[in-house]
Chain A
Amino acid sequence: MARDYLRAQLAGDRREAVRLIEEALAAGTSVRELHLSVIEPAQREVGRLWQENAISVAGEHLATSISQLVLARLYPHLPRSAGNGRRAVVACIEGEHHELGARMGADFLEMEGFDVRFLGANVPRESLVALVVETSPDVVGLSVAMTFNIPELEATVEAIRAALDPAPTILVGGHVVEESPEIADRLGLCILGSNAEHLVVRCKEKLGC
């Protein structure tokens, strides 16, 4: 299934990709499983293929946009628990374009009953801080993939902490923490793990719910 999906992604066949997902959904595969066993591995494979120089940057964009579409299709089908009364804001910081992981994390939090505001990729720091102030969430999840965005991450965390007292719990996730986990310690942040499931576990740990 994951292989078929990847093939459709690389071929740029979005209809086939959507068909595969909807078929699986109709056959009773859970949204959670589709996230964790199909889309996430496929996206990792896309990254690996680029690394192997098997696909170009354009091919990578194409494959990722198909996953965006599929996630949007799946979104209304998320099995939602009763609200747990906790609010979360999930965003990619300014300059960070890799948003798929953050999106999946946001979806998982929603399934757990969080009230989630997902802001997407490349969120200007000011907008991000303003929204955090406005919604006063229990947790803020920031996604950073590229190490060269670390200075922006530091600035964003600082801005949030300056704007809100008491500051919300800030979790950081994405490729960068897999690369340089020491960054979390340095900023006094919590690593939310390498995938959406870890994010949920961490969130619940931190919030004690």
Chain B
Amino acid sequence: MLTPDRMGAVFERLSREICFVVDAEWRIRWLDERAKRVLHLDEGASLREACAPGGAEKLDRLSTTARSPEGCKDPWEVVVVIDGAPRVLALHAAMLEDGSLAVLGSTVPEAYAQALSQVSTTLSEMTSLHRESDRQQRELLRRHEELVRVHRDLDESTRGVVALHAELGDKDSSLRRANEVKTRLVANVSHELRTPINSILGLTKLLLERSDGELNSEQEKQLGFVKQSAESLNALVDDMLELSRVEAGRILLRTAKFPLPGLVASMRGMLKPLAASPNVDLIFEQAPNIELEQDEAKISQVLRNLVANALKFTERGSVRVTATAEGDHVVLSVADTGIGIPLPEQDRIFDEFYQVDSPVQKRVKGTGLGLTLSRRLADRLGGSLTVESREGIGSTFRFRIPIVHPEAREMHELERRSDEAPAGLAPILVVEDDRQTLFLYEKYLRGAGFNVVPARTVDDARAALRKINPAAIVLDVMLDGETSWQFLRDLKNNPETREIPTLVVTVTTSGEAMARALGADEFHLKPLDREWLVLKLRALARLGAVERVLVIDDDQVSRYLVRKHLEGLPYEVLEAAAGLEGVRLARERRPNVIFLDFVLPEMSAFDVLDELKKDPATRNIPVIIHTSKDLAVEERRRLEAEASAIVHKQSLSREVAIGRIREALEKAGIHGRHGGKE
């Protein structure tokens, strides 16, 4: 049942409004329960003092308004600090009879207040974020600019370095050009000088021989001086020429094997006459017994120079030549007890025309090129020339060279690789005198399925052709033109070799007509072009049957079996049913290997072997004895000596056939090469 009392209680509970009465100073005189709860104030407390900054003034304005005739219409918002936190109150006020104010206040709902403050906080945070991102963007921009600047700096310095490089390159090539010009000039001038010097020497000799009448002693003395001067001029020109040749890289090495003791012995014989002074002993110590593969003449030249030098600067004591082995090198040292070389000068004595300033130096003659030349030659021999010296005690020159010249070693390597090339690689005979070019050929052809058999002279090539049957020949006509053309002529006139495709390589186009006329199958201008070379050789090379196998057997089935076993392999199989026919075929067709049946009707296997050994053309062809007979001890012993292998017919298979042929060819290759050199 609705009663005003009960409704009043409900409204009381729902109401958010507070009621209180204040005096003119906003001191609370009375307040209801809700006001007590909200404001946390009691009677007597001052609302003015509880206000946030600006609030007190606002309360005063509210009093004035409430006391005015119009009274208070709109609510006044005042911030009151309650328990340290601001709270907004909207106040209405009316004047009571006693002059105090009745105030009705309402609080903005807590949730609204909080939402409002949240919104404002969010806004603040967002603007802060905006600010921060802007700041970071500026920082990025600054870093970017810095990077751009650094980049520009780097770019500039890179350009500087590049420019510097180019400049150095220019300087380098112009220096090289200048040096080349100098070398050429020296060579030309030297040649031009030689002719008149020879004339002077010749004429002086004639005069000294009194061929145009008697000379008085003064004239003879003068002519002696002329001769002496011309001779030293001649020595100078010789040295300069030699040096210019070394510098132009035009010194051809002629490496050969020779024993070291032999070299030392011949040096002793040659140089003894130079040791004219009784106060100086020229001693050659016993050299170790080593075989060198080097350019003997060049080594002699350097040694001669060193010994002559040592003798020049040694007034008493000895000049001692010692040879010692140091691993794969040999050190030839020339030690003297001469004047020695001051330390600062020790490096410079190898410079052109450099001479140590000393009284002795002034007395002895010299071109000033001897040591320069010696050092260059030592370099060319793959070694070095150094000096150790103490003033007043003596000097020791150490001339250190490899026992086998690197180029010779590389050649051996190339030959070894060629020998050990797996079967199936087509052998290409390359006739080329320059080692480096040979290596180039090997590099180009190895990967393409060819095996380079090197020949550095036409003689080597002829020897190689006696041993192998190449799939093609590459002939370089630079090496002594006429000899090469003759080789080509012979190659194409010989029915044995006529069919081998031959590719001629030259440096001038003028050779082409000649090459074609002599029967060359292809012609190419240097420089070598790998693609072209491989393409042509693939087309030309007789890749089908690179090895010829001769089977001498009266039994048709045995012959058939060998042929069958070798079918599909790069072998050409020749057949002979009898011994005589076999020997004839061997001579005519030069097989790479012969299968010989031990039991033949007219002629024994031993007879066939004897026949083959008689003829140099067939002597080196390896023979595999192919037999079904159990051999007697004596027979076996003899066959083992004369044939490459013995194969029982019952054990023949494809693998055995190929294996034996390969072994036989390898053996023959090694044997043949040794034979060729001897």
Residues of chain A touching chain B, judged by Cβ–Cβ distance below 8 Å, are: 47, 50-53, 56-58, 61, 64-65, 68-69, 71-72, 75-76, 97, 99, 103, 118-122, 145-148, 151, 175-176, 179
Contact = CB atoms under 8 A, between A and B. Distances in A.
Nearest to A179: B53
Chain A CB within 10 A, most for which of B52, B53, B108:
B53
B655 interface: no
A97 B57 CA distance: 21
B84 interface: yes
A121 B76 CA distance: 26
A75 B127 CA distance: 10
B125 interface: yes
20 contacts: A52-B61, A53-B58, A53-B76, A57-B108, A61-B119, A68-B123, A68-B124, A68-B127, A71-B127, A72-B127, A75-B131, A76-B134, A97-B120, A97-B121, A120-B125, A120-B128, A146-B86, A148-B52, A148-B84, A179-B53
B116 A61 contact: yes
Closest 3 pairs between A and B when the two form their complex, measured CB to CB: A120-B128, A121-B124, A120-B124
B52 A72 contact: no
A122 B128 CA distance: 12
A50 B77 contact: yes
A71 B53 CA distance: 26
Contacts of B74: 53
B53 A53 contact: no
B483 to A, nearest CB: 85
B232 to A, nearest CB: 80
A151 B83 CA distance: 13
Given A57-B77, A103-B127, A120-B127, A146 B117 contact: no
Contacts of B119: 61, 65
A53 B54 CA distance: 11
A27 B659 CA distance: 102
A72 B129 CA distance: 10
Interface in B148-187: none
Contacts of B121: 97, 121-122
Categorize the interface residue count of chain B: 20 to 34
Interface string B113-149: 0001101110111011011001000000000000000
A191 B228 CA distance: 109
Contacts of B76: 53
A58 B120 contact: no
Given A53-B58, A75-B134, 5 more contacts: A47-B54, A50-B54, A51-B57, A53-B61, A72-B127
Contacts of A57: 77, 88, 108, 116
Nearest to B61: A53
- The prevalent SS among residues of A at the interface is helix
B123 A65 contact: yes
A149 B238 CA distance: 108
Given A61-B116, A72-B127, A103-B127, A175 B53 contact: yes
B133 to A, nearest CB: 10
Q: Which of A121, A145, A175 has the most CB of B within 10 A?
A: A121
Contact of A148 (B81, B124, B125): B81
A16 B108 CA distance: 30
A56 B58 CA distance: 13
Given A72-B131, A75-B130, A147 B52 contact: yes
A53 B77 contact: yes
Contacts of B117: 97
A146 B52 contact: yes
Contact of B131 (A64, A118, A122, A176): A118
Nearest to B137: A76
Contacts of A71: 127
Interface string B269-301: 000000000000000000000000000000000
A160 to B, nearest CB: 20
B53 A61 contact: no
A122 B108 CA distance: 22
Contacts of B88: 57
Interface string B49-64: 0001110011001100
Contacts of B54: 47, 50-51
Contacts of B81: 148
A177 B481 CA distance: 111
A51 B120 contact: no
A192 to B, nearest CB: 18
A72 B130 contact: yes
B120 A61 contact: yes
A76 B303 CA distance: 87
A98 B84 CA distance: 17
Contacts of A122: 121, 124
A146 B85 CA distance: 11
Contacts of A69: 127
A194 to B, nearest CB: 14
Nearest to A52: B61
A75 B74 CA distance: 39
B118 to A, nearest CB: 11
Contacts of A120: 124-125, 127-128
B632 to A, nearest CB: 106
Give the residue among B125, B130, B131, B134 with the most A Cβ atoms within 10 A: B131
A97 B81 CA distance: 15
B128 A119 contact: yes
